[in-house]
């Protein structure tokens, strides 16, 4: 009898085990997997993983799978190639200069089309972010890592140069004067450099209420001509070139290259993205100050412009997968998630509610360098000139500008000639792009 009972227990045990094993594939198949291609490397990757892990833990039936896919331009190229090859990711992070390319690609599903009414308060999205990525008042991509440019400065070097560490330059004239004193004092070889110099040129246009391209920066119709070779653009580059001649400005290379010179004390000031606030503050062995971008006198006020990237939803997936993507997007705009993303990276939180949460928690009081970007962009003036530029071949146009700027500050071309060369190349690229989408 005991043997029979033991045998029965063994049979039951084997049956249960068999059922569990047999059920495993079914459970696995029930999980909706969402591929998420992004460009967040180094210190920003853990911040992305933190978001994804939090979402996946709350949604056992959905598995978002983040994949670092290279720099921004590489992610954009890979995503378009994958779409044309019939195997697109579900979500792809594309920087702001890829907006027109994504709109023209035929490979995306606008975020408003997968949205479920009433589940996200679109009115809570920070206005400059919403304006940048909206077409006809509707969002086409999901706000994620937005930034703008601000001025960083080394308060210690200011003191050593006999300058007031609480009075950074607010105009071009003050930049030349203060920069000259820094160089003359010998505390640093040069005074200022730029991160993303091409983007800083765009920032100068939006900040001073100047269009960067025709057709309202490509927003009312595809742009066919850049305007950087007109009076304002030439004036800006002329000023920068004059600074370079006096040793005040030094060309620091693309993207984040100039951060190294700033952290090493080789320059006292840096124009850079707000996405560097966290990393610079942690790495600096000196007191870091931040301020608004200096303005050129004699021009109307506009606003700084959004940089960073958004998340685009790709075509070619099932409704179940789009429902899962929507759940992920809803998670991203939760105040606590968006606020944590800001704390981890320095990028703007995407909603006003998240900003209020950070204020209530005392974050900005304890970290005043993080509030500078908000004050700058929220006190700017909302005008068509500052709502963002849409150019199809934007990446190549930026490269053309960088090449021209280098020639100007190195004395190879006059500022006017450099801007004419840049504009000729940019307009050629726009013409070729326009012919593809007639």
| Three-class SS of 85-114 | CCCCCCEEEEEHHHHHHHHHHCCEECHHHH
For residues 190 and 262, state if they share a domain: yes
186 lies in the same domain as 288:
yes
Closest CA to 310 of 95, 112, 124: 95
Quick check: is 319 in a domain? Answer: yes
**For the chain, the helix, strand and coil percentages under 3-state DSSP, each to the nearest 5:** 55, 15, 30
Residue 14: predicted pLDDT:
35
Residue holding tokens 């070729």?
432
438 residues of the chain, pLDDT tens digit each = 444 444 334 333 433 333 334 444 444 568 999 999 999 987 789 999 999 999 999 999 999 999 999 999 999 999 999 999 999 999 999 999 999 999 999 999 999 999 999 999 999 999 999 999 999 999 999 999 999 999 999 999 999 999 999 999 999 999 999 999 999 999 999 999 999 999 999 999 999 999 999 999 999 999 999 999 999 999 999 999 999 999 999 999 888 999 999 999 999 999 999 989 988 999 999 999 999 999 999 999 999 999 999 999 999 999 999 999 999 999 999 999 999 999 999 899 999 999 999 999 999 999 999 999 989 998 999 999 999 999 999 999 999 999 999 999 999 999 999 999 999 999 999 999 999 887
Query: Are both 54 and 130 inside the same structural domain?
Result: yes
Distances (CA, A) of 328 to 65, 147, 192, 381: 11, 21, 41, 33
Instruction: Order across the sheet with 149-154: list the strands.
Output: 192-194, 269-273, 149-154, 288-291
Among 366, 392, 417, the domain boundary falls at 366
Q: Looking at the structure, do residues 297 and 199 belong to the same domain, yes or no?
A: yes
CB 333 within 8 A of CB 311: no
- How far from 272 is each of 125, 198, 200, 205, 373, CA to CA, in Å? 24, 11, 8, 16, 11
Domain count, the chain: 2
Please check whether residues 418 and 298 belong to one and the same domain: yes
Q: Domain check: are 329 and 419 in the same one?
A: no
Tell me, yes or no, whether 143 and 258 share the same domain. no
- Same-domain check for residues 67 and 115: yes
pLDDT of residue 42: 75
Based on the domain organization, do 293 and 340 belong to the same domain?
no
Q: Is residue 10 part of a domain?
A: no
Report how far residue 337's alpha carbon sits from residue 360's, in angstroms, rounded to the nearest whole number: 15
Tell me how far CA of residue 58 lies from CA of 72, 134, 325, 339, 424, in angstroms.
29, 30, 14, 18, 53
Other CB atoms within 10 Å distance of the CB of residue 160 = 18
- DSSP conformation letters of 66-90: EEE-SSHHHHHHHHHHHHHTT---S
Q: Is the dihedral of CA 216, 73, 203, 362 positive or negative?
A: positive
Q: pLDDT averaged over the chain?
A: 92
Last residue of a domain, one of 321, 343, 366: 366
Same domain flag for 298 and 389: yes
Q: How many whole angstroms separate alpha carbon 107 and alpha carbon 109? A: 7
Which has the closest alpha carbon to 201: 230, 165, 225, 177? 230
- If asked whether residues 202 and 72 sit together in one domain, one would say no
What pLDDT shows up at residue 29? 60
Query: What pLDDT, on the 0 to 100 scale, is given for residue 11?
Result: 33
Q: Is residue 114 part of a domain?
A: yes
> Could you tell me the sign of the dihedral formed by the alpha carbons of 69, 71, 204, 346, in that order?
positive
Would 156 be classed as within a structural domain? no
Shared-domain flag, residues 258 and 319: no
Q: What is the pLDDT of residue 34?
A: 98
Q: Is residue 38 part of a domain?
A: yes
Whole-number percent of the chain with pLDDT over 70: 93
Residues present in the chain in total: 438
Note whether residue 70 is domain-resident.
yes
Q: Is 138 helix (H, G, I), strand (E, B) or coil?
A: strand
pLDDT at residue 7, rounded to an integer: 37
pLDDT of residue 41: 87
Could you tell me the residue range of the domain that residue 257 belongs to? 161-305+379-436
In a domain, 78, yes or no: yes
Q: Is the residue at 235 inside a domain? A: yes
Spatial contact of 373 and 274, defined as CB atoms under 8 Å apart: yes
Contact 213, 426 (CB under 8 A): no
d(CA 353, CA 356): 5
Question: Do 56 and 64 meet the contact criterion of CB atoms below 8 Å apart?
Answer: yes
What values do phi and psi take at 270, rounded to 5? -150, 130
Q: Cα dist. 336→51, 64, 349, 395, 396 in Å?
A: 11, 19, 10, 34, 38
pLDDT (tens digit, 9 = 90+) per residue, 1-48? 444 444 334 333 433 333 334 444 444 568 999 999 999 987 789 999
Write the CATH number for 137. Answer: 3.40.190.10
Task: Give me 377's structure tokens.
Answer: 């962009």
């Amino acid at each position: 009898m005991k043997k029979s009972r033991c045998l029965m227990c063994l049979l039951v045990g084997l049956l249960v085990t068999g059922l569990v094993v047999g059920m495993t594939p079914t459970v696995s198949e029930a999980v909706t997997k969402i591929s998420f291609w992004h460009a967040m490397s180094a210190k920003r990757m853990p911040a992305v993983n933190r978001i994804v892990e939090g979402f996946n833990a709350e949604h056992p039936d959905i598995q978002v799978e983040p994949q670092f896919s290279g720099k921004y331009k590489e992610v954009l190229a890979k995503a378009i190639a994958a779409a044309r090859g019939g195997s697109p990711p579900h979500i792809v992070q594309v920087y702001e200069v890829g907006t027109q390319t994504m709109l023209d690609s035929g490979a995306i599903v606008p975020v408003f089309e997968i949205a479920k009414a009433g589940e996200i308060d679109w009115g809570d999205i920070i206005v400059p972010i919403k304006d940048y990525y909206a077409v006809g008042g509707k969002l086409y991509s999901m706000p994620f890592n937005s930034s703008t440019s601000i001025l960083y400065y080394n308060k210690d070097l200011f003191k050593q140069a006999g300058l007031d560490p609480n009075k950074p330059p607010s105009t071009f004239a003050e930049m030349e004067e203060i920069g000259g004193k820094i160089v003359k004092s010998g505390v640093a070889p040069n005074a200022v450099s730029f991160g993303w110099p091409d983007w800083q040129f765009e920032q100068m246009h939006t900040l001073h209420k100047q269009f960067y391209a025709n057709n309202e920066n490509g927003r009312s119709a595809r742009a066919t001509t850049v305007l950087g070779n007109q009076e304002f653009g030439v004036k800006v580059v002329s000023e920068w070139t004059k600074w370079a001649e006096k040793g005040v400005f030094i060309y620091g290379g693309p993207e984040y290259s100039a951060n190294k010179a700033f952290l090493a004390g080789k320059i006292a000031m840096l124009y850079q993205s707000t996405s560097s606030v966290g990393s610079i503050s942690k790495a600096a062995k000196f007191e870091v100050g931040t301020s608004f971008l200096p303005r050129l006198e004699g021009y109307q006020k506009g606003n700084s412009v959004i940089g960073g990237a958004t998340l685009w939803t790709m075509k070619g997936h099932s409704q179940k997968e789009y429902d899962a993507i929507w759940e992920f997007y809803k998670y991203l705009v939760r105040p606590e998630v968006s606020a944590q993303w800001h704390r981890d990276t320095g990028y703007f939180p995407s909603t006003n509610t998240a900003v209020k949460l950070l204020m209530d928690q005392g974050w900005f009081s304890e970290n005043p360098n993080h509030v500078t970007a908000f004050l700058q962009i929220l006190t700017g003036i909302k005008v068509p000139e500052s709502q963002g530029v849409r150019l199809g071949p934007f990446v190549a146009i930026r490269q053309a500008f960088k090449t021209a700027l280098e020639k100007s500050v190195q004395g190879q071309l006059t500022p006017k000639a450099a801007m004419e060369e840049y504009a000729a190349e940019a307009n050629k690229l726009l013409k070729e792009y326009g012919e593809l989408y007639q």
